[in-house]
């Protein structure tokens, strides 16, 4: 969590800001979702990684330098007065897992975006959050040309723990995105409370 709920000297409740991760396979709609719900102009931090590529073809035989752009999305949304969420869209490529370890520090929870045409792309994210016991919801981004599956079918296909919410959404739609985030905050709140009670009981 970015900041804790605390009282200011004059007795008012300080605003609470929670950190949320947005994960999922490449092209699933992470940037779209963060852009749709964010009140600030979404920031995309771009880091240029370069790697020496393989020799291209026989004509030149020269090594080609391949550059890849790693973009991380950042946005903010106020859920209600005094509660805002900071959204961090994580890079989709598996080789950037090391960034996730940094990003997930202090996160309340995560949204795993899924596309039913290639559900397998979100397995790594689901695994990642399950292993680290970071509460997450799966948000199925309903692309127009994809067959519509029910939340139950998706839950079964991903072999999710019972209770992990699956929400159907349209990443381009602000209200739809906001609803996903509210589901996550409620769910993560319940999970964190249950764990707290476990640890004292």
Ligand X SMILES: Nc1nc2c(ncn2[C@@H]2O[C@H](COP(=O)(O)OP(=O)(O)O)[C@@H](O)[C@H]2O)c(=O)[nH]1
Residues that bind ligand X (CB under 6 A): 24, 26-32, 92, 141, 143-144, 170-172
Q: Does 141 bind Mg ion (CB under 5 A)?
A: no
Of 92, 169, 163, 162, the C-alpha closest to 123 is: 92
Tokens encoding 84: 């805002």
- Interface with Mg ion: number of residues (CB under 5 A): 2
Dihedral-angle region of residue 192 (phi above 0 means left; psi in -120 to 50 means alpha; beta otherwise): alpha
Residue 123 binding partner per list Mg ion, ligand X, none, with a CB distance cut-off of 5 to 8 Å that depends on partner kind: none
Residue 26 binding partner per list ligand X, Mg ion, none, with a CB distance cut-off of 5 to 8 Å that depends on partner kind: ligand X
Q: Does 90 bind Mg ion (CB under 5 A)?
A: no
> What's the length of the chain?
201
Tokens encoding 160: 């999710």
**What is the rounded distance in angstroms from the CA atom of residue 111 to the CA atom of residue 100?**
13
Q: How far is the CB of 96 from ligand X (least distance, A)?
A: 12
Which residue number, 31 or 38, has a Cβ lying nearer to ligand X?
Answer: 31
Query: Under the rule (CB under 5 A), what is the footprint of Mg ion?
Result: 30-31
């Amino acid at each position: 969590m970015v900041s804790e709920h605390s009282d200011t000297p004059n007795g008012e409740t300080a605003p609470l800001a929670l950190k949320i991760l947005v994960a999922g396979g490449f092209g699933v709609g992470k940037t779209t979702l963060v852009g749709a719900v964010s009140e600030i102009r979404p920031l995309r931090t771009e880091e240029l990684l370069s790697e020496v590529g393989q020799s291209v073809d026989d004509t030149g035989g020269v090594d080609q330098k391949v550059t890849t752009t790693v973009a991380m999305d950042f946005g903010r949304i106020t859920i209600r007065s005094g509660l805002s969420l900071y959204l961090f869209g994580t890079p989709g490529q598996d080789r950037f897992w090391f960034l996730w370890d940094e990003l997930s520090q202090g996160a309340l929870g995560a949204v795993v975006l899924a596309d039913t045409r290639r559900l397998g792309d979100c397995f790594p994210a689901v695994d990642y959050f399950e292993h680290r016991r970071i509460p997450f919801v799966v948000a199925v981004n309903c692309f127009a040309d994809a067959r519509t599956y029910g939340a139950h079918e998706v839950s079964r296909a991903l072999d999710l723990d019972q209770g992990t919410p699956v929400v159907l959404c349209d990443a381009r739609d602000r209200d739809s995105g906001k609803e996903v985030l509210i589901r996550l905050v409620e769910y993560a709140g319940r999970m964190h409370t249950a764990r707290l009670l476990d640890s004292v009981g």
